[in-house]
């Protein structure tokens, strides 16, 4: 009898979990479509006409896997580069400065730390724009860490050359 009650309880629990997981999330989402014409938006600026050589030039652009580098992908997917008359190939890579130094890449969306290290090693660099120094900072800890003093005496996994990192020095 006891086994039968346990079995029925388990079946009931699994049924509740299964039914709770079945939901139509489209009713919870709000997606608003907007009319966006990149050609119309670009025409608002007096940018002038590109030369024939510039129209034929293929710009190789690199980005890293980071939320701060999304504009490089948005420019491509939203048709902004095309509206500007640019032929841009966007590539995800962790070797932006190396590719730029070798001439394989023309434009890169690179973090400032990597850019500084590359320049210090002789890479040519022209920084056309910058949006911030550093970025979001997260310290992921186990559930037993409730406040900063709980970190005292603990070992942090911060990389092999952390003492040379400007970011780690800020944290420390």
**What are the extents of the domains in the chain?**
51-120
Lowest mean pLDDT among 38-47, 63-72, 102-111, 129-138: 129-138
- Is the separation of the CB atoms in 100 and 61 below 8 Å? no
Return the pLDDT at 128.
76
Q: How far is CA 44 from CA 38, 48, 83, 167, in A?
A: 10, 11, 12, 40
What integer best gives the mean pLDDT of the chain? Answer: 78
Residues forming a β-bridge with 88 = 59
Dmax (CA) of the chain = 86
Return the pLDDT at 83.
93
pLDDT band of residue 56 (cuts 50, 70, 90) is: very high
- Going by C-alpha positions, the residue among 114, 144, 154 that lies closest to residue 130 is 114
Residues forming a β-bridge with 92 = 63
d(CA 144, CA 92): 37
Return the pLDDT at 14.
58
d(CA 71, CA 92): 13
How many other β-carbons are positioned within 10 Å of the β-carbon of residue 124?
A: 10
- Going by C-alpha positions, the residue among 96, 75, 74 that lies closest to residue 84 is 75
pLDDT band of residue 134 (cuts 50, 70, 90) is: low
Out of 3.40.50, 3.30.70, 1.10.357, 2.20.25, the CATH code matching 51-120 is 3.40.50
Between 2 and 64, the more confident residue is: 64
How many other β-carbons are positioned within 10 Å of the β-carbon of residue 17?
A: 9
Give this prediction's pTM.
0.56
Residues with Cβ within 8 Å of 120's Cβ and at least 6 positions away in sequence, in order, are none
Alpha helices in 103-165 (DSSP H): 112-120
Residues forming a β-bridge with 89 = 60
């Amino acid at each position: 009898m006891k086994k039968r009650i346990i079995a029925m309880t388990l079946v009931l629990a699994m049924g509740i979990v299964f039914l709770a997981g079945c939901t139509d999330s489209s009713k919870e989402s709000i997606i608003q479509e907007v009319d966006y014409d990149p050609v119309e938006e670009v025409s608002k600026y007096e940018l002038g006409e590109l030369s024939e050589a510039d129209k034929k030039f293929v710009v190789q652009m690199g980005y890293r896997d980071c939320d701060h580098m999304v504009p490089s992908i948005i420019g491509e997917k939203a048709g902004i580069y095309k509206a500007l008359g640019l032929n841009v190939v966007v590539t995800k890579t962790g070797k932006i400065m190396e590719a730029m130094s070798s001439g394989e890449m023309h434009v890169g969306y690179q973090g400032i730390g990597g850019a500084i290290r590359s320049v210090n090693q002789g890479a040519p660099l022209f920084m056309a724009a910058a949006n911030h120094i550093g970025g979001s900072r997260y310290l992921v800890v186990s559930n037993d860490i409730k406040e900063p003093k709980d970190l005292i005496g603990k070992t942090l996994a911060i990389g092999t050359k952390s003492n040379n990192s400007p970011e780690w020095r800020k944290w420390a």
